[in-house]
Amino acid sequence: MKAKLGILVLVLALAAAPLGLKNYGVYLLTLWCVYVMAGMGLNLTVGYAGQMSIGHAAFLGIGAYTAAILIKAGASFWLVTPLAALNCFVVGLVIGFPALRVQHHYLAFATLGFNMLVYLFFRNEEWLTGGTFGISGIQRPAFFGFSLDAPLPFFYFTLLSTILLAAVLWWIIRSPWGRAFAALRDNPIRAESLGVNIMAYTLLAFAIGAAFAGIAGAYFAALVQFIEPGPFHLVTSLMMLLMVIVGGSGRFFGPMLGAAIVILLPEWLRVLKDWYLVMFGLAVVAMMIWLPGGLLSIPERLRFSK
Amino acid sequence: MDGVSFSVAPGEIVGVIGPNGSGKTTLFNSILGQIKPTSGRMRFMGEDITGMSPLALSRRGVGRTFQTLQVFGSLSLRDNLIVAAQEFVRGMPSRLFAAPDAGLGAQADAMIALFGLERVAHLPAGSLSYGQQKLADIAMAFMPRPRLVLLDEPCAGVNPGLVDGLRELLLRLNKTQGGSFVVIEHNMDFIMRLCPRVICMVEGKVLAEGAPEAVRSNPAVLEAYLGN
């Protein structure tokens, strides 16, 4: 009951958050929603299933380009979003295969290589992606004739979609699949001896995580209305991994808090002028040293320290 | 291993003893497909299972425990027991839409009660004491009601006062579930009172096989393993 009330308060607070903000503030909140969607997927792959990935921005990019190309060709946002998810799900399945052979930093480098490959594809295959010129004029959707083009309606639409996607993730992790993902993360050898199909669950962890990023990509394309390869570089993958770790890897609300820190904190620190990125960097380093379990591990740590 | 050959009847409990490095765990790892034998075959219920993956074997009803603790540390003890059996409930896609406990809650609770772990059922398994984790580890192996269970040193690290209770538990599970057990153990009293048949391995070979007292008094076993 307490948890439900807390979630209701959080949703109401988010709904009230853009009121009184200028367009840039609403844009940042919508961008936060987009990264929460992608971060939830990465949290499933990294936090719940224990796989390493520093190529998640590639899936965000595949989703964004799938949506942008198809919207420009006249397809509806409502059709292209599931297609972006499906596209990423399939690519995610393929990218899961290295995880069946290698783990930890080897897997990190395999996913890093994948990110670079996808980035180069976006940059060089001009006939499809527009190369460095990108794709512009991406239309935002309408909902039963109601235009979502203005920043505020598009924010509420993205927020609602984020909540729905969070509900899907909640469903997955509280189902027997969620327990199997945790078993895979904690002890794959024991898991296999108990009938857990570690190959299937490893591939699914990557594929579902990628599908979440694909959906986020479609919303990103509609948000910025112009995409080019830059936002899908390795740096974004590292930033998304940072969101998951800073918030609390393997904790449901981890990516939400992490995305808020990574997206919004630099903006709030702008009062420090030239020093804001330095302070942000120091805050991240301090957090990694004293809070390796992420910000959401604080209550647990306090409980144990008593 | 060299020339190791034995069979286990349905419902039988067989003990495997021998000094460290005699090949006992290698025997388990070979049966379970974790080490591929260079020659020889293994059969289970008439089917050749040589080189089969642990996953395929678990689907056929072969379970095991490991020498070292192998629980899922972040999951609660109850969830450890549920995950130990959930993959045998319906197909994988339908499990996504199944109840969170996959319909195994009552079975897990019964197993928790049998092992006397009610007080810690909802704690993360990784936070439990060594002995509690060991009991959880054994309980997990029995959750899917396997037809053959390979138990690798179940008494290791268990409080001596609990060893008798563990033996009683295994005998009760053998009676209620009806599976066959192969048990590796260094605790001679435990194994002699649990297993009607014992195999002694030394340097990868079977040195003696038979009733516990016969193996215990075998001069070759005394010399190579038990001492005088």
Residue B90 at interface with chain A, using a CB cutoff of 8 Å: no
A31 φ, ψ (degrees, to nearest 5):
-65, -35
Q: pLDDT per position in chain A (306 positions), as tens?
A: 888 999 999 999 999 999 999 999 999 999 999 999 999 999 999 999 999 999 999 999 999 999 999 999 999 999 999 999 999 999 999 999 988 888 888 999 999 999 999 999 999 999 999 999 999 999 999 998 899 999 999 999 999 999 999 999 999 999 999 999 999 999 999 999 999 999 999 999 999 999 999 999 999 999 999 999 999 999 999 999 999 999 999 999 999 999 999 988 888 888 887 887 788 888 888 988 998 899 999 988 888 776
Distance (Å, whole) CA B52 – CA A144: 56
List the structure tokens of B18: 């021998």
Bridge partners, residue B149, by sequence:
B63, B181
A47 interface with B at CB cutoff 8 Å? no
Subunit contact B83:A194, Cβ cutoff 8 A: yes
Nearest to A176 among B32, B70, B102 (CB): B102
- Whether A194 sits inside 8 A of B87 (CB atoms) is yes
CB contact under 8 A, B75 and A183: yes
- Say if A90 falls within a structural domain: yes
SS (H, E, C) chain A: CHHHHHHHHHHHHHHHCCCCCCHHHHHHHHHHHHHHHHHHHHHHHHHHCCCCCCCHHHHHHHHHHHHHHHHHCCCCHHHHHHHHHHHHHHHHHHHHHHHHHCCHHHHHHHHHHHHHHHHHHHHHCHHHHCHHHCEECCCCCEECCEECCCHHHHHHHHHHHHHHHHHHHHHHHHCHHHHHHHHHHHCHHHHHHCCCCHHHHHHHHHHHHHHHHHHHHHHHHHHHCEECCHHHCHHHHHHHHHHHHHHCCCCCCHHHHHHHHHHHHHHHHHHHHHHHHHHHHHHHHHHHHHCCCCHHHHHHHHHHHC
| Residue A228 resides in a domain | yes
B211 touches chain A (CB under 8 A): no
Q: Is the pLDDT of residue B169 over 90?
A: yes
Tell whether A55 is covered by a domain.
yes
Domains of chain B, earliest start first = 13-226 (3.40.50.300)
pLDDT tens-place string over residues A248-279: 999 999 999 999 999 888 888 888 878 877 88
Task: Tell if the CB–CB gap between B74 and A174 is shorter than 8 Å.
Answer: no
Interface test with B, best of A194, A197, A300 (most B CBs within 10 A): A194
Q: Is residue A98 one of the residues assigned to a domain?
A: yes
Q: A186–B97: do the CB atoms touch at under 8 Å?
A: no
> How far does Cα A292 stand from its chain's mean position?
20
List the domain range (segments joined by +) for residue A191: 28-131+138-233
CB within 8 Å of B129: residues ≥ 6 apart = none
Any domain includes A52: yes
A262 in a domain, yes or no? Answer: no
Q: Which helix (H) or strand (E) covers residue B24, if one does?
A: helix B24-31
For residues A111 and A52, the answer to whether their CB atoms sit within 8 Å is yes
B143 contact residues in A (CB cutoff 8 A): 194
Interface test with A, best of B34, B57, B64, B72 (most A CBs within 10 A): B72
CB A61 within 8 A of CB A231: yes
Instruction: Answer yes or no: is A157 within a domain.
Output: yes
Tally of domains in chain A: 1
**Closest Cβ opposite residue B83 in set A172, A180, A189:** A180
Q: Which residues contact A285 (CB under 8 A, 6 or more apart)?
A: none
pLDDT band at B228 (very low <50, low <70, confident <90, very high): low
The pLDDT value recorded for residue B165 is 93
B25 at A interface, C-beta within 8 A: no
Q: Is the pLDDT of residue B181 over 90?
A: yes
The residue type at A102: V
Mean pLDDT of B13-42: 92
The whole-angstrom separation of Cα A66 and Cα B40 is 54
* Position A66 in a domain: yes
A194–B58: do the CB atoms touch at under 8 Å? yes
CB B98 within 8 A of CB B90: yes
Minimal Cα–Cα distance from B22 to chain A, Å? 23
pLDDT of residue B67: 87
